[in-house]
C-alpha cells in the first residue's frame, strides 16, 4: 500500500467521525481535511509513520470509548509526592478519582465557550494535522488557573489513564493552563494504561505563563501497555517568566512529543531537558521548538537518548531568533548512545537566526559505550552488566540532576535505575 493510499484512507476515516458544532472546530476540520495525516513525504514526520501505525492498530471511524470500573489509582501514584491530583480516565476528567485540596487554584472541566480567550490561540492547528484533529474533535480536558501572586507549594499531578480492559481506547484530550502574574506552579503529567488492548492518545496542552511567573513542567511517559501517543505542548511566556520542562520517555509502542516554547516577552528564561530510554520496538519522536520573539532572553536545551533492541529515536530541535530578539542566548544539545546494531537515531538540530547580536549554538553526538571505560570498571572486579548499567546511568544522570523537586528526582531516578538494570 502506498503512502498516498494510507493517507487518504486514514484521513477519510477520521473525517467521517468528526461533526463540528462550533466555528473553531469547523475551521480545524477544514485544516485537517487539507493536511491529511502525515506520511513519510512530510518533512516533519518523515521518520514517523503515524498514518500507517494508526490505520493498522485502530478503528478510526468511531470515538466511542469503552466503559471503565477503575475505582482507585494507587498503582499509578508517584510515591511520597504530596500533590493535587487530576485524573483523566480514557481522556475524560474524572472528578471522583481526582483530589484537589487548594481552593485558591481553579481546576475544572474545560469549556469551549467559557475559556475561549486562550483556547487554540497558541497551539497552531493550521500546519499540523494532529493538532487540527485534536482541535476539531477533542471531547474531554481540564482548565487550570493559578491566580496572581500565588505560589502553589504542592504540585498539580495529572494522571492520563487509559483503561483498555473492555476494548481499544482512543482519547482526544485538550488541556489549558493559565499561570497568573508573579505566581509559581509545578505541573506533572504521567501516562499509564490498564489492559492488553491498544490505546491512542491525542493530547494538546496550551500553557500561558504570565509576567514574572514560573512553571516547572514534567512529562513522564513510562506506560508498559500498548500505548500510541501524540502530545503537543505549547507554552507562551510573557516578560521575565521562567519555564523548566522535563520530558522522560521510558516506554510505549509509539510516542510523538511536540514541545514548543514561545518566548514572547523580554527577559524570559527557559530550560528544556529530555531523556529517552528505548528498547524493544519502541519508536519515540521528540520535536522541539524554541521561538525567541523579544530581546534579552535565554534558553538552554539538553536531550539525551539510550537506544537498544529494534528501537528507533528521532530528535528534531529548532531554535528561532526573530529580528527584534537581540541579546538572545540560545543553546541546544542532543547526545545519544546506541547499544545494538538494529537501534537507530535520526537527529536534526536547527538554528534560524534573523538577529545579529546573539549567542547561539547547537550540536549532536551519536556513539556507543566507551570500551576502555568499560574495561576499566571490569578490571576493578565489577561484573559486565553492572559496569554497563553504571556507565549508562552516569550518561543519564546529567538530566536527572537538573530536577529541582527532590520527590520527583527520586521517582525518576528509581525508574531509570530499574530500567537500566532490567532492560539494558
pLDDT tens column, 211-266: 999 999 999 999 988 999 999 999 999 999 999 999 999 999 999 999 999 999 99
Q: Is the pLDDT of residue 203 over 50?
A: yes
pLDDT confidence tier of residue 61, bands split at 50, 70 and 90: confident
pLDDT score of 5: 41
pLDDT score of 41: 85
- Strand pairing class (298-307; 269-278): parallel
Find, among 122, 124, 127, 120, the residue nearest to 32 by Cα. Answer: 127
Neighbours of 149 (CB within 10 A): 12
Q: Phi then psi for 410, rounded to 5 degrees? A: -65, -40
Q: Determine the Cα–Cα distance for residues 210 and 334; give it in Å rounded to an integer.
A: 29
Q: Is the pLDDT of residue 47 over 70?
A: yes
385 against 149, higher pLDDT: 149
Q: Determine the Cα–Cα distance for residues 242 and 359; give it in Å rounded to an integer.
A: 19
Residue with cell 544539545: 333
Q: Is the pLDDT of residue 372 over 70?
A: yes
Q: pLDDT above 90 covers what percent of the chain?
A: 82
| In 19-165, beta strands by DSSP E | 84-89, 92-99, 106-109, 142-146, 156-163
**Largest Cα–Cα separation, the chain:** 68
pLDDT confidence tier of residue 75, bands split at 50, 70 and 90: very high
Model pTM score? 0.95
pLDDT score of 423: 63
Q: Which of 3-7, 153-157, 170-174, 284-288 has the lowest mean pLDDT?
A: 3-7
Q: What residue ranges do the domains of the chain occupy?
A: 71-371, 372-424
> 289 Cβ partners below 8 Å, 6+ apart?
258, 259, 260, 261, 317, 318, 319, 320
Find, among 414, 419, 75, 412, the residue nearest to 248 by Cα. Answer: 412
Q: Determine the Cα–Cα distance for residues 392 and 338; give it in Å rounded to an integer.
A: 11
Q: Is the pLDDT of residue 6 over 60?
A: no
For residues 404-410, give the mean pLDDT.
96
Find, among 232, 283, 299, the residue nearest to 260 by Cα. Answer: 232
Amino acid at each position: 500500500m502506498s503512502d498516498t493510499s494510507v493517507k487518504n484512507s486514514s484521513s477519510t476515516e477520521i473525517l467521517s467521525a468528526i461533526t463540528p458544532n462550533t466555528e473553531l472546530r469547523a475551521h480545524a476540520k477544514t485544516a485537517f481535511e487539507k493536511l491529511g495525516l502525515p506520511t513519510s513525504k512530510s518533512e516533519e514526520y518523515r521518520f514517523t509513520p503515524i498514518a500507517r501505525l494508526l490505520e493498522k492498530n485502530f478503528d478510526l471511524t468511531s470515538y466511542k470509548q469503552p466503559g471503565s470500573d477503575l475505582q482507585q489509582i494507587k498503582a499509578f501514584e508517584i510515591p511520597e509526592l504530596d500533590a493535587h491530583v487530576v485524573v483523566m480516565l480514557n481522556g475524560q476528567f474524572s472528578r471522583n478519582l481526582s483530589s484537589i485540596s487548594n481552593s485558591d487554584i481553579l481546576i475544572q472541566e474545560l469549556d469551549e465557550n467559557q475559556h475561549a480567550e486562550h483556547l487554540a490561540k497558541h497551539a497552531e492547528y493550521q500546519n499540523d494535522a494532529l493538532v487540527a484533529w485534536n482541535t476539531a474533535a477533542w471531547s474531554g480536558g481540564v482548565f487550570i488557573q493559578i491566580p496572581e501572586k500565588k505560589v502553589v507549594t504542592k504540585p498539580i499531578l495529572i494522571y492520563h489513564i487509559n483503561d483498555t480492559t473492555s476494548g481499544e481506547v482512543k482519547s482526544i484530550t485538550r488541556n489549558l493552563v493559565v499561570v497568573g502574574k508573579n505566581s509559581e506552579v509545578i505541573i506533572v503529567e504521567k501516562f499509564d494504561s490498564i489492559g492488553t488492548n491498544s490505546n491512542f492518545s491525542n493530547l494538546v496542552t496550551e500553557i500561558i505563563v504570565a509576567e514574572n511567573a514560573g512553571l516547572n513542567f514534567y512529562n513522564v511517559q513510562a506506560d508498559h501497555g500498548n500505548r500510541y501517543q501524540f502530545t503537543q505542548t505549547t507554552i507562551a511566556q510573557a516578560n521575565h517568566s521562567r519555564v523548566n520542562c522535563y520530558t522522560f520517555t521510558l516506554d510505549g509502542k509509539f510516542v510523538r512529543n511536540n514541545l514548543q516554547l514561545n518566548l514572547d516577552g523580554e527577559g524570559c528564561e527557559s530550560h528544556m531537558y529530555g531523556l529517552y530510554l528505548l528498547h524493544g520496538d519502541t519508536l519515540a519522536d521528540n520535536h522541539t521548538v524554541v521561538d525567541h520573539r523579544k530581546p534579552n532572553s535565554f534558553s538552554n536545551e539538553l536531550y539525551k537518548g539510550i537506544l537498544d533492541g529494534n528501537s528507533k529515536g528521532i530528535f528534531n530541535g529548532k531554535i528561532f531568533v526573530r529580528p527584534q530578539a537581540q541579546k538572545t542566548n540560545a543553546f541546544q544539545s542532543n547526545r545519544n548512545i546506541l547499544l545494538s546494531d538494529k537501534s537507530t537515531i535520526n537527529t536534526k538540530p536547527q538554528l534560524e537566526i534573523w538577529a545579529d547580536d546573539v549567542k547561539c549554538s547547537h550540536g549532536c553526538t551519536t556513539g556507543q559505550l566507551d570500551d576502555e571505560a568499560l574495561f576499566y570498571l571490569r578490571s576493578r572486579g565489577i561484573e559486565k552488566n553492572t559496569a554497563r548499567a553504571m556507565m549508562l546511568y552516569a550518561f543519564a544522570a546529567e538530566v536527572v540532576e537538573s530536577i529541582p523537586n527532590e520527590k520527583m528526582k527520586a521517582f525518576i531516578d528509581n525508574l531509570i535505575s530499574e530500567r537500566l538494570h532490567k532492560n539494558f
